[in-house]
């Protein structure tokens, strides 16, 4: 046997990247430089970090600790512990203890607690036991290395039991006494037998946690059609429903292949500008209104919201579309409501052709097509 075949090849995948580490921690080393904000998903910028602390200010005794992927929580530490961002800590869990990394410390934690409606003095905030010791880190590393193996084995077991579910992620607790299995399923799944088999196979306490298709995509990650890393995998931590109404309001073609993300659902970014479009459409008349002229009736075809243009065409000539400013469309509707019929739409479609004249130093715009009578 050749020499290179006798040694196992180590995987180049960093299993700690989803926990905010640029490289895996090493037992027996200081490990104070393996955390960088550039490697941390769902990172929080500490804009209060360089603000001078006023005299008499009482610092908060709570920090934010992150675990795998988007799982974060707040923990209280005792005065004899000094913590900063990037420290590996052992925290209270149920049962035993878990290992995480301090993702946020200082007064900015007060704002995070307030945003989540948590009282800083609440007894429900769990404790930080200590900074992680050498034995804690060693057991944590061995637990993380089991996650990928456990995921593939659990998939085989679920398939053997005939369960219609997909196990897409596994997270071991830092003390290696509990494992959380994340799965997706279309229907309700009776996994009682699965839990028994998994507990017997891995010799740990099993917790099954169902997630949606969006959460699955955030855990798997990837590149979106925009060329950037998926928003759900980098900064989104709360998912909101996206409806086809958001696409209709933004005048987007209802093409499922273009509107759906990697999760198979409508893209989350459809909600980013939805309220802006709604605000801009407040001044637009209904697209169901028929414009009546002496030349014939005209129906709405499309809208350019931010240019404030609406395209109309005659019912007997649908291919001849004319761009009419919103203000002129409203004037035509008002004239129709008063029983008046303008001669033709063409008289209202040239608002950009204006003549500017000066009268005693004031600019007056003459719109020859507008009938003021």
Supply 108's token pair: 């900015």
Q: CA 168, CA 213: separation in Å to the nearest integer?
A: 10
pTM: 0.73
In the chain, ranges of CATH 3.30.300.20 domains: 138-211
- 315's enclosing H/E stretch is none
3-state secondary structure 231-273: HHHHCCCCCCCCCHHHHHHCCCCCCHHHHECCCCCECHHHHCC
Q: What is the pLDDT along the chain (373 residues), one digit of tens a residue?
A: 444 444 444 445 777 878 878 778 877 666 666 777 777 777 788 888 788 888 888 889 999 999 988 888 999 999 899 898 888 999 999 888 999 999 899 889 999 999 889 999 898 999 999 999 889 989 999 999 999 999 999 999 999 999 999 999 999 999 999 999 999 998 888 989 999 999 999 999 999 999 989 989 988 888 998 999 899 888 887 888 899 999 989 988 888 888 999 888 999 999 999 999 999 898 899 989 999 999 889 999 988 888 889 999 998 888 888 999 999 999 999 999 999 999 888 888 854 433 333 333 333 333 333 443 3
Side-chain-side CA neighbours of 274 within 13 Å: the count stands at 15
CA-closest candidate to residue 234, choices 251, 249, 243, 222: 222
Distance CA 175, CA 90 (A): 9
Question: Residue 343: helix, strand or coil by DSSP?
Answer: coil
Q: Extract the tokens encoding 217.
A: 């995509």
> 102: Cβ–Cβ under 8 A, 6 or more apart, which residues?
63, 64, 65, 83, 84, 85, 86, 87, 88, 89
**CATH architecture, domain defined by 138-211:** 2-Layer Sandwich (3.30)
């Amino acid at each position: 046997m050749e020499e290179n075949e006798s040694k196992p090849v180590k995987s180049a995948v960093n299993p700690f990247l989803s926990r905010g580490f640029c490289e895996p921690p090493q037992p027996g080393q200081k490990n104070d430089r393996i955390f960088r904000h550039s490697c941390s998903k769902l990172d929080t910028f500490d804009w209060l970090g360089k603000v001078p602390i006023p005299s008499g200010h009482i610092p908060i005794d709570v920090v934010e600790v992150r675990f795998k992927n988007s799982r974060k929580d707040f923990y209280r530490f005792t005065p004899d512990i000094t913590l900063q961002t990037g420290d590996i800590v052992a925290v209270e869990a149920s049962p035993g203890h878990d290992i995480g990394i301090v993702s946020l410390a200082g007064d900015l934690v007060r704002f995070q607690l307030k945003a989540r409606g948590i009282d800083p003095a609440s007894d429900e905030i769990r404790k930080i036991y200590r900074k992680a010791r050498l034995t804690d880190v060693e057991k944590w590393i061995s637990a993380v290395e089991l996650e990928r193996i456990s995921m593939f084995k659990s998939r085989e077991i679920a398939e053997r039991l005939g369960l219609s579910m997909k196990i897409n992620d596994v997270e071991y607790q830092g003390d290696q006494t509990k494992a959380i299995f994340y799965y997706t399923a279309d229907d309700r799944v009776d996994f009682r037998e699965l839990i028994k088999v998994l507990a017997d196979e891995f010799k740990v306490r099993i917790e099954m946690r169902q997630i949606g298709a969006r959460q699955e995509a955030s855990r798997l990650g990837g590149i979106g059609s925009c060329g950037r890393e998926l928003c759900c995998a980098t900064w989104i931590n709360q998912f909101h429903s996206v409806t086809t109404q958001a696409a209709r309001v933004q005048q987007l073609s209802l093409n499922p292949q273009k509107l759906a993300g990697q999760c198979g659902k409508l893209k989350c970014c459809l909600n980013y500008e939805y309220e802006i479009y709604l605000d801009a459409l407040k001044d637009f008349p209904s697209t169901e209104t028929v414009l009546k002229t002496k030349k014939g009736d005209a129906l709405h075809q499309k809208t350019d919201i931010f240019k404030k243009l609406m395209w109309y065409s005659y019912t007997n000539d649908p291919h001849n579309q004319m761009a009419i400013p919103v203000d002129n469309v409203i004037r035509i509707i008002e004239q129709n409501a008063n029983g008046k019929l303008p001669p033709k739409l063409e008289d209202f479609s040239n608002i950009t052709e204006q003549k500017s004249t000066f009268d005693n130093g004031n600019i007056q715009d003459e719109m020859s097509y507008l009938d003021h009578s």
